[in-house]
Structure 1
Amino acid sequence: MNINKKNQSNYNIKKNIFEEKVIQINRITKVVKGGRRFRFSALVVVGDKKGKVGFATGKAQEILDAIRKALERAKKKLVQISLSGSTIPHEVIGKFGASKTLLKPAYKGTGIIAGGKAARTVLELVGVKDILTKSFGSRTSINVIRAIMQGLKSLKTPKDIERIREISFNSRIKKE
């Protein structure tokens, strides 16, 4: 009997390797014949600080349900980002809607220079420690996050470029 209980407890242990942060909670009002109906939307970012990150929104009549839905969706939409140590490999501009975000690599010890909670949180959860950012245009949280994600997805390390072009930078340097 003890063996079964012991085995069951091992199966129930679930390690959460992702860090979760709620960026924004909005109250949405719908005016109907009988009055107002209130709902909530939550914007959540999930990451492992090793290059994987995802974000999503969830909507429900209760705040906790909205957050739970957003977390489930964000974990399904995780994306692997190419990093170069504690920063990004090269400068990139991410665009989404009316938002534009400039991401620049920075020297070690610079930290995350980002204006706004949304940008800083996404970059922290990706695992970037040194970066410079600047947001242009619309600065709404969801648009800034989508612009940053679009920029991060387009990053390529030298190894990625070698694989895509089927060449080696080391052999190319030696030939010249």
Structure 2
Amino acid sequence: MASSMLGLFRRSVYQIYNQRFLSIQMQWTKTISLKGMPTSLQLLPRTIQYRNSSFFKHVSADELWKGVGGVSNAGRKKGRGRGRKRRIDLHAGQKLGVGHKLMMWPGLNAPIIKGKLILQPTKLATDKKRDEEIQKVRARQNKYRVLKVPALLRGWAGKRFPGMSIGPPDPVDDYTFEGFDTRVLELKIVANMTATLGRKQRFSAFVVTGNKNGLAGYALAKSSTGKDALRKAKNKAAKRLHFIERHHDHTILHNLYCHYFTTKIMVKKVQPGYGLKCHRAIKTICEVIGIKDLHAKIDSRSTNTQAMTKALFAGLLSQETHQELADRQKLHVVEYRNDMDNIPLLIASPSDHQVLEKIPENQDLDFENMYYGGKREYIKERQRKKNRFYKWTYWKKYKYRNQESARIERQVLGFEVKQRSNPAANLKSSS
């Protein structure tokens, strides 16, 4: 009775093991024989796991190349990633269905039917130069190729993004931004120290977009990649457009002084054909807006790109039109132009036709300095360029100074007789 109960117990335990272990098997398993083994070990599962294939089938190509030439973030900061092995496209130079032994496979690298004949897999003659050509193609990939950027599409410093054009913003519903151009003002990597992820780095992009006809906007965006950061900033700037008044579509309405925290800019209105003489960031902004002639001087040590952009936009948006000036001052606005022989031309008058008869004495009506906020632009005197003959020229002038005027004065007072040239004597001496 006891032996039968023991056999029943062993069979029940054996069935439980079969259900739990043998039902959940891996794809690659191998059965072993339990003959000759002790009875106590026959309760173990009858299968063991083993690997009959390469682990390269379970790891992607990106992970394999990362293991060959990858560098950690700490190593990259120390400059260890400069001479790492570059990724090679192993498929370059090869053709589909063509290997070391050339075969013609109908439907893969050859047609199935040729005329009325159905083609069959056929072995072709081997190509002895195949391996050499593949090695040449792979060796060509290791060479460093310089990407040539056209001169008109380059940024401020060659192939760097600041100053480059990245095209118009993406369409919004049915509206497309035709005629718009987006320029990169700043692209840098910023980092934030977190408790769990450590130093988290992202790309920060600052761009300005406009249609070169008075409509422009700027925006700042961040992302994990530079391409996404530029795209986000470009589309965000398209949603923050401002209209900027221009004088005859070439310059600003008047001189202005604008600042943003410690960044101060003095902008000057100039005549047509003057050009843009200012900081490169301000020049890029003016090109996007449509301002062709401008003179701007940064009146501070700070040349932060974002601060300059915000200060310039704040100043351009606070411009006062000639009509607004006439309504505020209760006076006529008159312009003097050299091409019109300085004849006064009436530009604007008060809209309510109420003009002051007497101008207040303490009021500054100098149009050039009216919007400078009490400041004056400091202009250095241009020093004369000294050359090696400067001292000798100066001494020669000093040595014979006032001699011509003194000679004329002696002739007037009668102390010296003016010598007249004799044409006959000249003729006789020449003969």
**Aligned residue number for residue 103 of structure 1:** 267
Q: Return the alpha-carbon distance in structure 2 between the equivalents of residues 14 and 82 of structure 1.
A: 23
Does the C-alpha gap of structure 1 residues 13 and 45 become closer, same or farther in structure 2, counting only changes over 3 Å? Answer: closer
Of 218, 225, 228, the match for 1:55: 218
Aligned positions of 1:128-167 closer than 5 A: 128-137=291-300, 138-161=302-325
Quote the Cα distance in structure 2 between the aligned partners of 1:157 and 1:13. 31
Structure 2 CA distance for partners of 1:13 and 1:139, relative to 1, 3 Å = closer
Residues 76-126 of structure 1 show CA distances to partners (whole Å, capped at 9, x for unaligned) of 1111111001111100011111111111111111100112x2111111111
Q: How does 1:18-167 map to 2 (within 5 A)?
A: 18-32=180-194, 34-85=197-248, 86-115=250-279, 117-137=280-300, 138-161=302-325
Between the aligned partners of 1:68 and 1:13, the Cα distance in structure 2 is 17
Contact 1:51/1:126, CA 8 A, preserved across alignment? yes
User: CA shift at 1:54, angstroms?
Assistant: 0.5
- 1: CA distance, partners of 2:310 / 2:209: 14
**Which of the pair is proportionally richer in helix?**
1
> Residues of 2 paired with 1:27 and 1:131: CA distance?
32
- Secondary structure of 2:299's aligned partner: strand
Could you say which structure has the greater relative contact order, defined with CA pairs below 8 angstroms and 6 or more residues apart? 1
| 1:52–1:163 Cα change, 3 Å | farther
CA distance in 2, matches of 1:147, 1:16: 27
Q: Structure 1's 88 and 29: CA in aligned 2 closer, same or farther, altered over 3 A?
A: same
Structure 1 residue 169 corresponds to structure 2 residue 349? yes
The structure-2 alpha-carbon separation of the partners of 1:172 and 1:113, relative to structure 1 and needing over 3 Å to count, comes to farther
- How many aligned positions are there? 164
CA distance in 1, matches of 2:321, 2:272: 18
Secondary structure of residue in 2 paired with 1:59:
strand
Question: Per the alignment, do residues 72 and 92 of structure 1 end up closer, same or farther by CA in structure 2, a change over 3 Å counting?
Answer: same
Q: Secondary structure at the match of 1:54?
A: strand
* SS of residue matched to 2:183: strand
Where is the strand percentage greater, Structure 1 or Structure 2?
1
In percent, how many aligned pairs have the same letter? 27
Distance 1:127 1:163, change over 3 A: farther
Q: Give the aligned residue type for 1:62.
A: T
Distance 2:322 2:175 in 1: 40
Which amino acid letter does the alignment assign opposite residue 158 of structure 1? Answer: H
Asked whether the equivalents of residues 263 and 298 of structure 2 are also in contact (C-alpha less than 8 Å), the reply is yes
**Residue of structure 2 equivalent to 1:5:** none
C-alpha contact (below 8 Å) 1:53/1:78 kept by paired residues: yes
Distance (whole Å) between structure 1 residues aligned to residue 224 and residue 263 of structure 2:
29
Deviates more, 1:99-108 or 1:28-37: 28-37
Q: Give the unaligned 5+ runs of structure 1.
A: 1-10
Amino acid of the structure 1 residue aligned with 2:290 = G
Q: Give the 3-state SS of the residue equivalent to 2:206 in structure 1.
A: strand
Rounded Cα–Cα distance in structure 1 between residues aligned with 2:211 and 2:203: 26
Q: How far off is 1:36 after superposition?
A: 3.1
CA distance in 2, matches of 1:57, 1:156: 28
* Alpha-carbon distance change, 75 to 163 in structure 1, aligned in 2, over 3 angstroms: farther
Distance 2:330 2:242 in 1: 24
The alignment yields a C-alpha RMSD, in angstroms, of 2.6
